[in-house]
Amino acid sequence: MTATDQIPMNAPRTAPARGLYAMAGALPLVLSFRPNYQLRSIVLRVTGAAMVLSSTGIWLMPGAAYDPQLALIKTGISVFFLFVGIALMMVNDPDGHPDAYFDPIRRELRILQRSSKGRPRIVLRRDYDSLGSVRFRDRSVELFEIDGSLLIRLPITVGSTRQLLRDQLSGVVPFVS
């Protein structure tokens, strides 16, 4: 007995691709605020690590004879290098950026921010009906309040993401050119 023999003759036949497209249309669309600056991130982290290492290296360098005033200056410089180095290494922390979820089932926009324990918490929740308008730019989408003020600007790098978002918001939020 083959697999086709087990399907009743009067059963509706649907194309699996159509079901996949319907399911993809019901899934939330996620846009991230993370900047795409890998080179900048690497340079800042290397510079920060060098400053942290140099904050201790100041004390290892041979220098003039021990002078209390010079020790005070070395302490100030090493503390400054330590804090600035740590700050530079943490500037582009990938967990620090929020994510935007466009939910087609609930018809709402949710902005989630990860807490210090790594749990996402909702920072902003807006229904599509409460949005004023939307404008699609070359590499971003801008959502506006009803009064015309800018609510949020999100980067979009992939054309398919732009089309999915346009499909979700069409008919609900007016588009501005």
Q: What is the pLDDT of residues 95-108, one digit of tens each?
A: 567 788 888 888 88
Hunting for tokens 């990860």 — which residue is that? Answer: 114
The pTM of this model reads 0.51
Q: What is the pLDDT of residues 24-55, one digit of tens each?
A: 455 555 555 555 567 777 888 899 999 999 99
Distance, in Å, from the CA atom of 144 to the CA atom of 147, rounded to the nearest integer, reads: 8
8 Å CB contact between 83 and 105: no
8 Å CB contact between 174 and 134: yes
Burial, 9: exposed, middle or buried (Cβ in 10 Å; 0-12, 13-18, 19+)? Answer: exposed
Mean pLDDT by 10 residues, the chain (177 residues): 36 44 53 62 89 88 71 89 91 70 85 80 86 86 87 81 84 83
